[in-house]
Amino acid sequence: MGLGCAVQKEPYLQGHVGRATEQDVRAKFGEPRFMQPGEGGGIRWVYREGDGWFVSKSTPSGTSPDCVEYHLSFDSRKVLTDWTKTAC
């Protein structure tokens, strides 16, 4: 999945906080790359777009300009509560 597909995640996530369930998000974007326990019995999912292996001298932190991660938080009811976008 390329970065062109990643752009489509943001409008969906912005409009579905507090409404979308894990099942809804999985149906829209597929299986997350990583899952880990979240706060209060919830769970965090991570979706990665891009390869994440490119390291540019123009990015001092060593992050890839061609790779982004979406971190999604779900509560114990399996409802999307928050999300962030970061460079890989």
Q: 60 φ, ψ to 5°?
A: -55, -30
Cα 33 from Cα 10, distance rounded (Å): 17
pLDDT range class, residue 8, cuts 50, 70, 90:
confident
pTM: 0.76
Cα 62 from Cα 53, distance rounded (Å): 10
**Domain ranges (residues) in the chain:** 3-87
Cα 25 from Cα 10, distance rounded (Å): 12
Tell me the per-residue pLDDT of 40-82, one tens digit each, with 9 for 90 and over: 899 999 999 886 555 544 455 555 568 899 999 999 999 999 9
To the question of domain 3-87 being in CATH 1.10.3470, the answer is: no
Cα 15 from Cα 56, distance rounded (Å): 33
